[in-house]
Amino acid sequence: MNRYLKLFFGTLVVALLLAPGSLLAANNTAAAPKKPKVFAKIAAVDSAKNTVTITDTDGTDKTFTINTFTKITIEGKPGKLADVTIGMKADFMSNGTRLSRLEVTTPLEEKPDKKK
């Protein structure tokens, strides 16, 4: 019986020592301010050369190569480079100068009003 009491109190002490740290960690993540998501924009598209130029969030233009493995999504649906237009919002993943993923959407102010 004495061994069970020692085990119980030992477990209780460990739980009490770990609890404040986990409570502090939970409070710190909740207090982090939410930053608005900033998108890059399509600056140029060259279907003949299979390249796309993207103005990044810091304002610099970067040109990337599109290959057969690049996943292109337009408005949430599979698309082609020829369907990408200048001014679209871009979310992308690159590997050096090659794009592995390009997701584009029409900026909110340019989307047609569905209530008409």
| Per-run averaged pLDDT (10 residues), the chain, 116 residues | 74 69 54 61 94 90 93 93 92 89 80 53
Cβ neighbors of 74 (< 8 A, separation 6 or more) are 83, 84, 88, 104, 105
Tokens 């008409």 locate to: 116
Note the CATH number of domain 40-107: 2.40.50.320
pLDDT of residue 49: 94
Cβ neighbors of 62 (< 8 A, separation 6 or more) are 53, 54, 56
Contact 81, 64 (CB under 8 A): no
